Amino acid sequence: MIALTVILLKPVLQINDMVDLLEYEGKQIFQKYQVPVTEFKVIRSESDIPDFSERMVIKAQVPVGGRGKRGGVVPVNSKQEALIAMDKIRKIDFDGHRSEVFLLEKAYSERRELYLSVTLDRSKELPVILASAEGGMDINSVPAEKIYRHHIVPYVSVPEYVKRELGEFLGLKDRQIYEVVDALYSIYDQMDASLVEINPLAVTDGGLTALDSKITVEDDALFRHQEIEPRYFGLEPVEIEARKKGLSFVRLEGDIGIIANGAGLNMATIDMISLRGGRPANFFDLGGTDDPAKVIEALKLESKIVSKVLFINIFGGVTRCDTVATGIVQAVKELKPDFKIVVRLRGANEEQGRHILQENGIESLLNLDQAIDRVVKLAGE
């Protein structure tokens, strides 16, 4: 019988495949696309709060919902009340997030609250417009018959008849709803978003106003949107550094550092080390690169967490073993690590790679089982 060790990698962010913008960031985008929003001011410190004597609301800026239910949205009537509210909000744990930025905005008296969004229906692989006259609630709790749905064919935009149907469904006669729907779809399309949501969309005496915003952008598209900062909630500094350098790294709790090329090989290496009693320190996917500069960056990161031994497991297909070995040698000469390094190279130019390593006093083994045993033994010493 083969024993299987399962190691759960901790959730990585909110960096998975999407970035949730904070409310104020979404409202700044809404302003750019002519979506009416409440008057607001971004508050980063107490000195940013102006003097005022009218009804205002101070809001926590965190990438989770349900802020109001947990005390993250507080009505205030003066600067002093805002300061007290901000101090209290700072202490609230919003699913592991604490508010460092706040939104101070004018309180509005709305006649009705609506829900409106453009999101991706992954089952149909099409964007879909969702609307409901019951705004301010979780859309998943609204009965299906009270939700307007219409899928949009990409590159066609929103047809006029759809906007007319939606307006009638919500009981709106003013064509302003047409403009808001067009704007939301433009944001969805141009920002590479998977969700653009207004909840609630307030019907006020002055027209429609977005009282909240939620925009989720696909992480893989961030290179096209330099104005959006990636989110690194819940990550350690070394993980954040790796992300910024485009390296796939997850910290674990052991003492044996691992670098491998490919997620599958990484997981197999982690399992084999664990089965032999070793404790993996990380998951590190070098990918298909054989760029010595990337190898050097990988060893620099590992040197921040490894104290005993680093195992480098490379299966060369597209990746050439000799250039990986060159990167390893350069990194060792530059960093002069005080931990042991064991390398297993197999594949394209493996003999040249092993020769480069051995010439420079770096231990290299061909057999994976022997390499794993050696690594675990070194870690135990």
Give the pLDDT of residue 232.
64
- How far is residue 87 CA from its own chain's centroid? 27
Confidence of residue 338 (pLDDT cuts 50, 70, 90): confident
**Which whole number is the average pLDDT over 345-363?**
92
What pLDDT was estimated at residue 30? 97
**Mean model confidence pLDDT for the chain:** 88
What per-residue confidence (pLDDT) applies to 230?
Answer: 67
Q: What is the distance between the alpha carbons of residues 201 and 85, in angstroms, rounded to a whole number?
A: 25
% residues pLDDT > 90 (the chain): 60
Among 195, 210, 209, CA closest to 21: 195
Q: Is the peptide bond before 200 cis (omega within 30 degrees of 0)?
A: yes
Biggest CA–CA distance in the chain, Å, is 80
Tabulate helix, strand, coil % of the chain (nearest 5). Answer: 35, 25, 40
Is the per-residue pLDDT at 331 higher than 90?
no
pLDDT score, position 10: 41
Is 168 catalytic? The answer is no
State the Cα–Cα distance between residues 232 and 210, nearest whole angstrom.
27
Residue 274: the pLDDT is 95
Q: What is the pLDDT of residues 33-76, one digit of tens each?
A: 999 999 999 999 999 999 999 999 999 999 888 898 899 999 99
Q: What percent of the chain has pLDDT over 70?
A: 93
At 21, list the tokens. Answer: 């913008």
Lowest mean pLDDT among 138-142, 254-258, 259-263, 285-289: 285-289
pLDDT level of residue 115 (50, 70, 90 thresholds): very high
- Which CATH code is given to the segment(s) 237-380? 3.40.50.261
Query: CATH 3.30.470.20 occupies which residues in the chain?
Result: 112-224
**Is 3 a residue whose pLDDT tops 60?**
no
**φ/ψ (deg, to 5) at 34:** 65, 30
What pLDDT is stored for residue 17 in this prediction?
A: 56
Q: Which of 23, 24, 25, 115 is catalytic?
A: 115
Q: CB–CB of 297/247 below 8 Å? A: yes
Tell me which of 132 and 156 has the higher pLDDT: 132
Which of 381, 38, 13 lies closest to 201 in space, CA to CA? 38
Q: What is the pLDDT of residues 144-200, one digit of tens each?
A: 999 999 999 988 889 999 999 999 999 998 899 999 999 999 999 999 999 999 999
pLDDT tens figures, 195-237: 999 999 999 988 999 999 999 998 778 778 877 776 666 677 8
Q: Do the beta carbons of residue 87 and residue 111 sit within 8 Å?
A: no
CATH topology of domain 39-106: Dna Ligase; domain 1 (3.30.1490)
| pLDDT given at position 233 | 61
Q: Is 245 helix (H, G, I), strand (E, B) or coil?
A: coil
Q: What is the pLDDT of residue 234?
A: 62
Q: CATH 3.40.50.261 residue ranges in the chain?
A: 237-380
pLDDT band at 138 (very low <50, low <70, confident <90, very high): confident
In this predicted structure, what is the pLDDT of residue 290? 64
Catalytic position from the list 23, 25, 197, 239: 197
To the query of whether residue 115 is one of the catalytic residues in this protein, the response is yes
Please name the CATH architecture into which domain 112-224 falls. Answer: 2-Layer Sandwich (3.30)
Predicted local distance difference test score (pLDDT) of residue 2: 42
